[in-house]
Structure 1
Amino acid sequence: MPLKRTVKDLVMEASARIRTIPMDDAETLLDDPETLFVDIRDVRELDREGMIPGAYHAPRGMLEFWVDPESPYHKPVFASGKSFVLYCGGAWRSALATAALQDMGLEPVAHMEGGFVAWKAAGKPVVPRPTKD
C-alpha cells in the first residue's frame, strides 16, 4: 500500500510553519540563560557523538509527555518560560517535534538548522553526554 504522505512530505510541511534558527544564530544563544537547547536524539547517539554544551536531553518518544503539564511524565523545565531550541541529528525529527510542540501551545519553540551533524561538522562546541550519578 503506497503512503499518502512520506516522512519527507511531513518534514517539509512542518518546516513551512515553524521557526528554524540558522546554526550561527543558534550558537550565539548558547550563553542566553533564557534559551534552552533540547536534544531529542536517542541516548545512544548522545553517547556516541556528544551533545551541545548545556543542552537538555528529552528523548523524542517522550517529548510531548514531558511538555504536557497534565501528563504524569511532565518535566517542570518545560514550564520554565524559557525559549526552546530543539535539535536532532539532521533536523528532520526536530522539525516534526517542533511542529508538535507548537501545536500543543508551547512557546517560543524553534529548531536548529542542519541538526547536530551540521553543528559538529562546522566545528561548533560539543561535550560528552553528562553521566547520571
Structure 2
Amino acid sequence: MTDLHTTAAELVAAARARIAEISTADLINAVDDPDTVIVDIRDIRERAKGFIPGSVHAPRGMLEFWVDPSSPYYRDVFGQAGKRYVLHCASGWRSALATAALNDMGFEAAHLRDGFSDWVKAGGPVETPDG
C-alpha cells in the first residue's frame, strides 16, 4: 500500500478552511429564493432516492466541465449572472472539495456544510423522481 502524504479528511479540512459554508437551516430558508441555485453533485443513484426541490443535478465528475464556458460540456445554468450557487453532496465532503475546485477556477460557489443527510434530518423538503 502506498503511504499517502495527505488523507482525504485532510483535503476536505483544507478545502473547508477556504470556502463559504452554508448551514442547513439557512439553505432551507433559501430553497425558494430565485437567486439561489442549489447544485446536487451526488451520484445519480443517490439522487434517485430523493433530492432538494428545484436543485440542479451536476455529477461530481462533470462539474468543472459544465461550469467552464470554453468546455464542450458547458451548461447554461452555470452562466446566470447574480446567482448564488450552493453545492451539496450527502455529507459535505465531496461538495467541499468541489466548491474549492470551482473557486480555484474563478467560479464563486458555496456548499451545504453538513450535506443532504442533515437536510433530511432537519426536515428540509425532499422530492423523488417519481413525484
Q: TM-score range by the shorter chain?
A: over 0.9
Q: CA deviation at 1:58?
A: 0.2
Amino acid at match of 2:73: Y
The aligned residue for residue 118 of structure 2 is 118
The aligned residue for residue 39 of structure 1 is 40
**In angstroms, what is the RMSD of aligned CA positions?**
1.2
The aligned residue for residue 92 of structure 1 is 93
The aligned residue for residue 79 of structure 2 is 79
The separation in 2 between residues aligned to 1:118 and 1:43, in whole angstroms, is 19
The aligned residue for residue 56 of structure 2 is 56
What TM-score do you get using the length of structure 2 for normalisation? Answer: 0.95
Runs of 4+ in 1 over 3 A off after TM superposition: none
The total of aligned residue pairs comes to 129
Q: Secondary structure at the match of 2:61?
A: helix
Amino acid at match of 1:121: K
Q: Which digits, 9 at most, give the CA deviation of each residue in 1:33-78, with x for residues without a partner?
A: 111000000000011x200010000000000000000000000110
Amino acid at match of 2:100: A
The separation in 1 between residues aligned to 2:130 and 2:43, in whole angstroms, is 14
- Quote the sequence identity (%): 54
Q: Which runs of 5+ in 2 are unaligned?
A: none
The separation in 1 between residues aligned to 2:111 and 2:104, in whole angstroms, is 14
